[in-house]
């Protein structure tokens, strides 16, 4: 993130840099005071649509530039290793969220079957156990990425206290919401497209075929 | 037949008579011998008990044994482990280390019931660096064995040999290749372990048992038991199974369920995997059951036998060895697909394995609702754009938006939007939240987009192939079609189908096996089920869903739309001539409506409620009257609180020709329909009555209309006259009202509003959620009938009415008529029927049957 602010066209200040990255990774802001989004709007990096603030195309391009690490660098290589360890777990967390929302036959999980829900909780524990070493490694090579583990643990705490929306709801910083943001940051940092990402995940997940 | 049967015999029985763990190996119970030794699931675990049952049913099972829960720790002792190895070798007729017919062991745990949070299985014991290549040579493939081996070493290293978990995690991250993983893990054990990793199978098994029990005692497992409200010290049984290694072409493992998830019919579904058994085989590596070289006949036989025994859709795990199947596990499916449960209930009852009442009892009203999900109404002429993956259930139709920005803009104008995206990232989330449905070109049913859509309760179709979005042009290409932003599409998140244009969304008809169960439910219930329907089309839909008649036909729509100017002229008329002309036109239009309605009703009962709209719905908006005089008259009629103002019978008493005109139209229509041989049981209902005098006056209008029609047509129309009970005063004066009424229909929506003094829209927005959070209310009183307040009013009104008119017909026509708990309440009060919207009719039929069955059970309970 060091060299990035220079690329920002109109406003090379650090607050704005952080803000535009945050907005792009989150996809939107809701309920933020105008003082926070006004500078972004003025810089052509955000637009206000009713109660939500959205990033502009320019903001997305800017954030990609800010986040991207140097191609071919050692840092890129080490982050790529962490990303490739992330991908198989990325498949699992989506399966866990899917199982939490839908029973195997596709009907909605109404959470009346505590045995079924307990099984899903177990696989969430597996995911969380599997992602921790990956995030510990990532933190050593990508500044600021430690916040994801903190946020995931906060979401888990809420979930364990019985607030079920903290697993997969898009309306709060749920486990899935935070995860999606982490995923997006990795893609921007490494300059990987969604299509490449899907293909790589599939390859890693199905690698062992005998 | 399985090897275990040959082993069952007198020696086992004499062993059982001795105390367990006296001698090594005495606590080992071969599959199938638990019952003989007087052990059940509490000692054998759910798995041991299930294997016992499979043996008893004569089904082929894999050789193995159980260490009962009270003795499971004994397997950590090398002597017991040695006996277990010997016994499994004996049962399977193979030896560990034999290079031609190799054997490995698999260790697992089970609790007395099916629970979550058990330690993972340790899937290959008996492998050593020395014999691994022999094993791979027999299998013909190497990777799977090393993968399973690595997982086994990992668990034993952490939980039995005290190697720190983080060190092991790092090694796994650094060495992705399974063979190198095993080497790295064994090196870490040598470096950090409290002991060496043994080659001897018995010593491996003893350590594996210690690891499993250690994992069962870990903080994570304890947390899981707490979450499931299981005892902290719950003991598990351990199971040692033979893992018979063979060539991948002829060996493997698989899973199957007994019924097709879509149709619910008996038809084994599942897949199998070649090679070594893994708990989570890589996706896309399974093969369909049809590919089993030995055929599926034995599998089908096993599934059918188990279903008949367990009375539930079942799932099995099986091993394939030399193309033959033997069962590894079997259980009732924990959450079978609904169609499967319904089909099975009908099948069992048809075969006489279950009574019809029992079959009906197995399907809840909520499940009926679930099966009658909304779907697109297809006529055959639709243009199917694409079929994607069904990612989030539900059907919707809306205008295409290609970005969050556009979706938010359109939605702000009240447009129903379908967000269409080639791929999704966080920037699409706000658009998804603003849309009624989501369509994506990439990603599967477990994609981020699908998770978000389900989290927000939106229907979604994902992975629609060939979808190309061009945001700058504002177009999306789907197959050969190019759509612009704003064009409408319709999609079904259960089938994955996406259609061009606007399709209507309606409730699916019940599948055939559910229709059968509902017919049986009809034979059980006492409470009648009618529909709230205003038009002939609605009546036909409801009759097809099993409605016995119409409990509420609202006539408001007959005055709205293009007829609004007519009723406006009646209300605002400057002179009687204009008023009478308008009334005549209205009467004619209503006559047509009623005739169609009554024809659709056929010989069933139909309750027609005379006009009940509040006055303000008929008044022109300020400034829109025809002239200044009308403007003035309209202004004089505007009310501060129209819902409590000039409405229902009150309006009819001020505009005295309204009800006679409506009633004459209705009776004439009846006479027309009767001429075709159809005789609907007509019930005419007066709304919003509080005073017996109001009812008496309105009744006189209706009688006058009947006389007029009789005079004009010569037909004496048979009808009953009754009233809505929707004010507390009406409920309290039910005795007096019953003198004028042959039936009552409780309008529970208004009765709830007026009993609580709740304005529904306002409290739903501001108050109810807060009250539910505080625990003041457990459910919205508009969704579930309040039994204490509103319910006592109904109870009291029913008693008072019956004391005056014993046979008076009583029904409920609020939305509560479709809610199972409210239905049970009405049944308990002895009401005659409930009336609900068409799509709830099947739910109400089932709820009424369950209520009757509950009463029967209560009665039979009290006589004992």
Examine the pLDDT at B831 and tell me if it is beyond 70: yes
Would you please indicate which residues of B are annotated as catalytic (active-site) residues? 448, 813
**What is the spatial distance between Cα B139 and Cα B152, in angstroms, rounded to a whole number?**
19
Residues B651, B697 contacting (CB under 8 angstroms): no
d(CA B459, CA B457): 7
Beta carbons of A27 and B336 less than 8 Å apart: no
Q: Does residue B515 surpass a pLDDT of 60?
A: yes
Does the structure show a pLDDT above 70 at B435?
yes
pLDDT class of B11 with cuts at 50, 70, 90: very low
- Using CA atoms, how far apart are residues B96 and B89, in angstroms rounded to an integer? 7
Q: Is residue B605 part of a domain?
A: no
Six-digit token string for B461: 């179709």
pLDDT value at residue B621 = 84
Q: What is the pLDDT of residue B603?
A: 97
CATH of the domain at B280: 3.30.470.20
Total domains in the fold of chain B = 4
Q: Can you give the CATH number for the domain in which B498 is found?
A: 3.50.30.10
Show Cβ contacts of residue A111 under 8 Å, excluding neighbours closer than 6 positions: A117, A164
Do B226 and B257 reside in the same domain of the chain? no
Residues of B in contact with A206 (CB under 8 A): 282-285
- Split at pLDDT 50, 70, 90, the class of B142 is confident
Q: How confident is the model at residue B616 (pLDDT cuts 50, 70, 90)?
A: confident
Quote the pLDDT of residue B655.
87
**pLDDT surpassing 60 at residue B774:** yes
Q: What is the pLDDT of residue B6?
A: 35
Amino acid B23: pLDDT: 59
Specify if B117 maps to a domain: yes
Inspect the interface and report whether the beta carbons of B283 and A205 lie closer than 8 Å. Answer: yes
Residues B767-785: b if buried by 16+ CB within 10 A, e if exposed: ebeeeeeeeebeebbbebb
User: Within its chain, how far is the Cα of A7 from the centroid?
Assistant: 24
Of A26, A101, A174, the CB nearest to B426: A26
Among A170, A181, A198, beta carbon nearest to B442: A198
DSSP, res B618:
G
Looking at every residue in chain B, the average pLDDT score rounds to 90
How many angstroms separate the CA atoms of B499 and B492, rounded?
9
- Residue B488 and residue B402 share a domain: yes
Percentages helix, strand, coil for chain A (3-state, rounded to 5) are: 65, 5, 30
Same domain, residue pair B13 and B117: yes
The confidence score (pLDDT) of residue A3 equals: 42
Helices (H), B217-277: 219-227
Q: List the single best residue of B419, B430, B459 to mutate versus A (max A Cβ within 10 A).
A: B430
Tell whether the model's pLDDT for residue B545 goes beyond 70.
Answer: yes
Same domain, B92 and B177: no
- Assess if residue B691 is contained within a domain: no
What's B13's domain CATH number?
3.30.1490.20
User: Do residues B486 and B441 both lie within one domain?
Assistant: yes
For B21, left (φ over 0), alpha (ψ -120 to 50), or beta? left
Q: Span B632-652, mean pLDDT? A: 89
Which residue would you say has higher pLDDT here, B815 or B279? Answer: B815
Q: Measure the CA–CA gap between B16 and A132, rounded to whole angstroms.
A: 48
For residue A188, list chain B residues with Cβ-Cβ distance below 8 A. none
For residues B374 and B397, the answer to whether their CB atoms sit within 8 Å is no
pTM of the model: 0.73
pLDDT > 70? residue B501 = yes
Nearest to A168 among B227, B409, B455 (CB): B455
d(CA B818, CA B358): 23
Residue B116 to residue B121: CA distance in whole angstroms = 13
B174, B333, B455, B508, best to mutate vs chain A, most A CBs in 10 Å: B455
List, for residues B580-596, the tens digit of each pLDDT value.
888 888 888 899 999 99
Does residue B505 contact residue B397 with C-beta atoms inside 8 Å? yes
B161 and B187 housed in the same domain: yes
- Residues of B annotated in the binding site for Mg(2+), as ranges? 726, 750
Q: Given an 8 Å threshold on Cβ–Cβ distance, is B433 in contact with A170?
A: yes
Dihedrals φ, ψ of A207, to 5°?
Answer: -55, -45
Q: Torsion angle, CA of B777/B778/B784/B787, rounded to 10 degrees?
A: -70
DSSP characters over B47-77: HHHHHHHHHHTT--B--EEEE-GGGGGGGGS
Helix (H, G, I), strand (E, B) or coil at B460: strand
**Three-state secondary-structure class, residue A59:** helix
The answer to whether B393 touches A108, Cβ cutoff 8 Å, is yes
On whether both B71 and B212 belong to a single domain, the answer is yes
Average pLDDT over residues B523-527: 97
Res B9 pLDDT > 50: no
Name every chain B residue with its beta carbon within 8 A of the beta carbon of A105: 261, 335-340
| Residue length of chain A | 210
Would you state the pLDDT for residue A204?
86
> Closest chain A residue to B442 measured between Cα atoms?
A195
Partners of residue A116 in chain B, C-beta under 8 Å: 334-335
pLDDT value, residue A12:
54
| Residue A30: strand pairing partners | A52
Chain-centre distance for alpha carbon B96: 48
Taking only the tens place, the pLDDT of each residue in A164-202 is 899 998 888 999 999 999 999 999 999 999 889 988 998
Q: Does residue B786 fall inside a structural domain? A: no
Determine how many CB atoms are found less than 10 A away from the CB of residue B839: 19
Pair B212, B260 in one domain? no
Phi, psi of B854 (to 5 degrees): -65, -45
Query: Given an 8 Å threshold on Cβ–Cβ distance, is A49 in contact with B443?
Result: no
Examine the pLDDT at B50 and tell me if it is beyond 90.
yes
Across-strand partners of B490?
Answer: B397, B499
Q: Which of B795, B679, B688, B684 is nearest to B732 (CA)?
A: B795
Q: Tell how far CA B528 is from the center of its chain.
A: 25
Cα separation, A176 vs B455, in Å, equals 10
Tell me if B567 is assigned to some domain: no
Please classify residue B130 by burial: count the beta carbons closer than 10 Å to its beta carbon, then call 0-12 exposed, 13-18 middle and 19+ buried: exposed
Quick one: B105 and B146 in the same domain? no
Mean pLDDT of chain A, nearest integer: 87
The predicted-structure confidence for B338-380, as pLDDT tens digits, reads as follows 889 999 999 999 999 999 999 999 999 988 988 887 788 888 8
Considering the domain architecture, whether residues B65 and B111 belong to the same structural domain is answered as yes
User: DSSP string of B569-582?
Assistant: HHHH-SSHHHHHHH
Domain that holds residue B273: 252-336
* CATH class in words for A4-67: mainly alpha
| Cα–Cα distance, B71 to B45 (Å, whole number) | 12
Question: Can you tell me the distance from the alpha carbon of A88 to that of B291, in angstroms, rounded to the nearest whole number?
Answer: 28
Taking an 8 Å cut-off on Cβ atoms, the answer to whether B447 and A104 are in contact is no
Nearest chain A residue to B412 by CA distance is A50
**pLDDT at residue B428, as a whole number:** 85
B336 versus B167: the higher-pLDDT residue is B167
Nearest Cα neighbor of B347 from B362, B334, B332, B333 is B362
Chain A residues close to B423, C-beta within 8 Å: 194-195
Predicted pLDDT of residue B193:
95
Whether residue B390 is contained in a domain is answered as yes
Structure-block tokens of residue B74: 């004994």
pLDDT greater than 60 at residue A11:
no
Write the residue in A60, A114, A183 that is nearest to B427 by C-beta.
A60
Residues B121 and B136 in one domain: no
In our burial notation (b when 16+ CB lie closer than 10 A, e otherwise), range A170-194 reads: beebbbbbbbbbbbbbbbbbbeeeb
- What's residue B206's pLDDT? 97
pLDDT band at B507 (very low <50, low <70, confident <90, very high): confident
* pLDDT single digits (tens) B199-222: 999 999 999 999 999 999 998 899
If asked whether residues B210 and B302 sit together in one domain, one would say no
Which residues of B participate in the annotated binding site for substrate? 554, 609, 726, 747-750
The band of B162, judged by pLDDT with boundaries at 50, 70 and 90, is: very high
Those residues with Cβ within 8 angstroms of residue B748's Cβ, 6 or more apart along the chain or in another chain: B726, B785, B790, B794, B812, B813, B814, B815, B816, B817, B822
Half-sphere exposure for B653 (CA within 13 Å, toward CB): 18
Residue B64, pLDDT above cutoff 90: yes
The closest CB to that of B429, out of A28, A97, A121, belongs to A28
In angstroms, the CA B158 to CA B156 distance is: 6
Contacts of residue B147 in chain A, CB cutoff 8 Å? 208
**Residue range A97-119, pLDDT digits in tens:** 989 988 776 677 888 888 888 88
How far apart CA B416 and CA B412 sit, in angstroms, is: 10
Are A104 and B335 an interchain contact pair (Cβ–Cβ within 8 Å)?
Answer: yes
Q: Which residues of B299-310 are buried (b: 16+ CB within 10 A; e: fewer)?
A: bbebbebbbebb
Residue contacts between A and B (CB atoms, under 8 Å): 169
User: Which strands form A52-55's sheet, in the order they lie side by side?
Assistant: A29-30, A52-55, A46-49
pLDDT, position B741: 97
* CA distances for B6 relative to B33, B65, B83, B242, B596, angstroms: 11, 14, 19, 16, 75
- Does position A10 have pLDDT exceeding 70, yes or no? no
Distances from the Cα of B415 to the Cα of A30, A49, B434, B502, B845, angstroms: 21, 15, 10, 13, 36
| DSSP assignment string, B264-319 | --EEEEEEEEESS--SSPPTT--EEGGG-TT-SHHHHHHHHHHHHHHTS-EEEEEE
Between B442 and B76, whose confidence is greater?
B76
Tell me if A94 and B447 make a contact (CB, 8 A cut-off). Answer: yes
> Of B424 and B322, which is predicted with more confidence?
B322
Q: Is residue B545 a contact partner of residue B842, using CB atoms and an 8 Å limit?
A: yes
Q: What's the rounded mean pLDDT across residues A154-159?
A: 93
B12 pLDDT more than 50: no
Domain boundary among B445, B478, B507: B507
Distance CA B489, CA B398 (A): 6
Q: Is residue B369 part of a domain?
A: no
Given pLDDT bands bounded at 50, 70 and 90, which one contains residue B19? Answer: very low
> Which chain B residue shows the shortest CA-CA distance from A206?
B282
Beta carbons of A170 and B142 less than 8 Å apart = no
Q: Which two tokens stand for residue B349?
A: 């009852």
Question: Higher confidence at residue B274 or residue A127?
Answer: A127
pLDDT reported for residue B7: 38
Residue B32 contacts residue B5 (beta carbons within 8 Å) = yes
Q: Which of B137, B409, B359, B331 shows the shortest CA–CA distance to B248?
A: B137
* Interchain pair B393, A103: CB under 8 A: no
Residue B473 has pLDDT above 50, yes or no: yes
């Amino acid at each position: 993130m060091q060299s990035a602010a220079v690329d920002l066209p109109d406003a090379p200040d650090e607050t704005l840099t952080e803000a535009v990255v945050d907005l792009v990774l989150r996809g939107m802001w809701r309920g933020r005071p105008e003082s926070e989004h006004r500078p972004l709007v003025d810089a052509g990096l955000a637009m206000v649509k009713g109660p939500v603030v959205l990033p502009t195309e320019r903001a997305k391009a800017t954030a990609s530039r800010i986040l991207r690490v140097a191609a071919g660098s050692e840092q890129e290589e080490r982050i790529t290793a962490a990303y490739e360890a992330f991908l198989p777990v990325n498949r699992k967390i989506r399966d866990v969220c899917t199982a939490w929302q839908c029973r195997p036959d596709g009907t909605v999980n109404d959470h009346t079957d505590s045995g079924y829900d307990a099984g899903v909780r177990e696989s969430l524990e597996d995911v969380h156990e599997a992602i921790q070493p990956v995030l510990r490694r990532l933190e050593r090579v990508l500044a600021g990425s430690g916040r994801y583990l903190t946020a995931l643990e906060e979401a888990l705490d809420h979930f364990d206290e019985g607030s079920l929306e903290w697993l997969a709801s898009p309306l709060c910083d749920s486990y899935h919401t935070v995860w999606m943001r982490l995923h997006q940051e990795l893609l921007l940092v490494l300059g990987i497209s969604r299509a490449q990402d899907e293909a790589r995940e599939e390859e890693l997940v199905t690698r062992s075929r005998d | 037949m399985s090897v275990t049967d040959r082993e069952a015999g007198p020696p086992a029985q004499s062993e059982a008579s001795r105390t367990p763990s006296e001698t090594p190996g005495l606590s080992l119970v071969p599959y199938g011998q638990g019952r003989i030794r007087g052990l059940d699931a509490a000692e054998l675990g759910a798995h041991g008990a299930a294997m016992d049952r499979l043996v008893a049913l004569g089904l082929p099972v894999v050789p193995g044994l159980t260490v009962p829960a009270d003795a499971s720790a004994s397997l950590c002792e090398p002597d017991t482990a040695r006996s277990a190895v010997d016994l499994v070798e004996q049962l399977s007729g193979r030896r560990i280390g034999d290079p031609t017919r190799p054997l490995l062991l698999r260790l697992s745990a089970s609790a007395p019931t099916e629970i979550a949070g058990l330690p993972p299985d340790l899937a290959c014991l008996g492998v050593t660096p020395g014999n691994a290549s022999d094993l791979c040579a027999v299998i013909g493939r190497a990777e799977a064995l090393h993968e399973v081996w690595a997982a086994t070493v990992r668990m034993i290293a952490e939980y039995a040999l005290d190697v720190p978990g983080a060190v092991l995690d790092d090694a796994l991250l650094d060495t992705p290749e399974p063979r190198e993983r095993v080497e790295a893990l064994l090196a870490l054990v040598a470096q950090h372990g409290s002991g060496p990793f043994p080659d001897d199978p018995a010593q491996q098994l003893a350590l594996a048992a210690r690891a499993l029990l250690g994992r069962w005692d870990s903080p994570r497992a304890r947390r899981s038991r707490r979450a499931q409200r299981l005892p902290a010290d719950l003991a598990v049984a351990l199971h040692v199974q033979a893992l018979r290694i063979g060539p991948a072409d002829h060996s493997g493992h698989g899973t199957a369920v007994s019924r097709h998830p879509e149709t619910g019919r008996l038809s084994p579904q599942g897949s199998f995997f070649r090679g070594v058994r893994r708990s989570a085989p890589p996706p896309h590596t399974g093969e369909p059951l049809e590919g089993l070289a030995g055929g599926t006949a034995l599998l089908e036989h096993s599934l059918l036998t188990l279903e008949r025994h367990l009375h539930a859709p079942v799932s099995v795990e099986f091993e394939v060895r030399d193309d033959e199947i033997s069962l590894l596990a079997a259980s009732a499916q924990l959450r079978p697909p609904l169609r499967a449960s319904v089909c099975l209930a009908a099948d069992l009852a048809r075969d006489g394995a279950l009574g019809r009442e029992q079959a009906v009892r197995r399907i809840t009203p909520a499940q009926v609702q679930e099966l009658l999900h909304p779907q697109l109404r297809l006529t055959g002429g639709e243009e199917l754009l694409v079929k994607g993956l069904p990612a989030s259930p539900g059907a919707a139709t809306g205008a295409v938006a290609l970005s969050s920005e556009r979706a938010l803009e359109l939605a702000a104008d009240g447009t129903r939007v379908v967000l269409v995206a080639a791929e999704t990232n966080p920037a699409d989330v706000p658009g998804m939240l603003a849309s009624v449905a989501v369509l994506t070109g990439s990603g599967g049913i477990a994609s981020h987009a699908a998770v978000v859509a389900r989290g927000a309760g939106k229907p979604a179709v994902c992975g629609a192939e060939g979808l190309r979005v061009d945001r700058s042009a504002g177009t999306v290409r789907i197959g050969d079609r190019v759509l612009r932003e704003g064009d409408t599409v319709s999609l079904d998140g259960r089938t994955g189908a996406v259609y061009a244009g606007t399709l209507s969304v309606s409730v699916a008809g019940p599948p055939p096996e559910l229709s059968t169960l509902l017919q049986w439910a009809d034979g059980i219930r006492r409470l009648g089920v009618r529909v709230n329907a205003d038009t002939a089309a609605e009546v036909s839909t409801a009759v097809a869903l099993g409605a016995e008649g119409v409990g509420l036909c609202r006539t408001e729509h007959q005055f709205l739309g293009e007829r609004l100017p007519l009723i406006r002229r009646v209300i605002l008329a400057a002179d009687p001539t204009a008023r009478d002309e308008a009334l005549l036109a209205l009467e004619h239009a209503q006559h047509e409506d009623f005739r169609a309605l009554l024809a659709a009703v056929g010989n069933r009962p139909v309750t027609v409620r005379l006009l009940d709209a509040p006055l303000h719905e008929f008044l022109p908006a300020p400034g829109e009257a025809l002239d200044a005089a009308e403007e003035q008259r309209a202004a004089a009629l505007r009310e501060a609180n129209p819902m409590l103002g000039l409405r229902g019978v009150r309006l009819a008493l001020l505009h005295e020709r309204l009800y006679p005109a409506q009633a004459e139209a209705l009776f004439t229509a009846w006479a027309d329909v009767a001429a075709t041989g159809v005789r609907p049981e007509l019930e005419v209902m007066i709304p919003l009555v509080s005073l017996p005098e109001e009812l008496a006056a309105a009744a006189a209008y209706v009688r006058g209309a009947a006389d007029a029609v009789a005079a004009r047509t010569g037909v004496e129309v048979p009808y009953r006259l009754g009233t809505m009970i929707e004010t507390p005063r009406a409920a309290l004066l039910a005795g007096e009202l019953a003198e004028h009424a042959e039936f009552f229909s409780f309008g529970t929506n208004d009765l709830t509003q007026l009993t609580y003094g709740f304005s529904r829209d306002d409290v739903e927005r501001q108050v109810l959620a807060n009250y539910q959070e505080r625990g003041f209310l457990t459910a919205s009183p508009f969704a579930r009938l309040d039994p204490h307040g509103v319910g006592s009013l109904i109870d009291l009104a029913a008693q008072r009415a019956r004391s005056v008119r014993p046979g008076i017909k009583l029904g409920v026509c609020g939305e509560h008529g479709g809610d199972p708990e409210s239905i049970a309440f009405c049944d308990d009060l002895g009401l005659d029927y409930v009336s609900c919207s068409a799509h709830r009719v099947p739910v109400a039929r089932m709820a009424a049957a369950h209520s009757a069955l509950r009463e029967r059970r209560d009665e039979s309970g009290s006589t004992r």
